[in-house]
Structure 1
């Protein structure tokens, strides 16, 4: 067993236990988790912007210049096709701008 990366501290935190078993020490899984988190964050942000503006998916789609089915897909956390061009169209429709931040990759595991 590789002892240099094993955390011997015990915990009863279910999220931490799952992180240790499924993610810790597995860079490919960590990268996948980060991608899932990013897709989810974009979808939630689009949904929040639309609902705070008091718009239905259909009305929002009309403002953005697309269809309600596209808005539905964009608000789906499993959707992987978010593009900067579409995010800029959404921002413009709501008189906003897109801001992108880069944050440290290594941080304590959070609930998914």
Structure 2
């Protein structure tokens, strides 16, 4: 039997954010991972696996995995809409002035 300790992601993240170098890198990437986090949270709240969501959205499980990893290239608005619809959600797209 393993004596592995379970760690809450938010607790771990908050601890890591105390490091100024980590915080700067995290904040630079935060916008990219917001969509991934929202998809994961909605998928889990709907009791869906990645495979279930993929089937509902008419895509593949690896495509959902890439979306949830934040490692997506050439993400289309139509793909986001399909995933959102499968999750019972509505996508919101915003533009903000570059700093």
TM-score class, shorter-chain normalisation, is 0.5 to 0.7
Deviations 1:5-54 (A, max 9, x none): xxxxxxxx6417x74xx8xxxxxxx9xx2xx3222111111111111110
CA RMSD after TM alignment: 2.9
The answer to whether structure 1 residue 37 and structure 2 residue 30 are counterparts is yes
Aligned pair count reads: 81
- Equivalent in the alignment of 1:67: 60
Q: Secondary structure at the match of 1:50?
A: helix
Q: Say which structure is richer in helix.
A: 2
TM (normalized to structure 1)?
0.57
Flag structure 2 segments of 5+ consecutive residues without an equivalent: 1-17
Bigger Rg, structure 1 or 2: 1
Question: Hey, which bits of structure 1, 4+ residues long, moved more than 6 A?
Answer: none
Output the TM-score relative to the length of structure 2.
Answer: 0.64
Q: Whose RCO is larger (CA < 8 A, sep 6+)?
A: 1
The runs of 5 or more residues in structure 1 that have no matched partner are 1-12, 23-29, 107-112
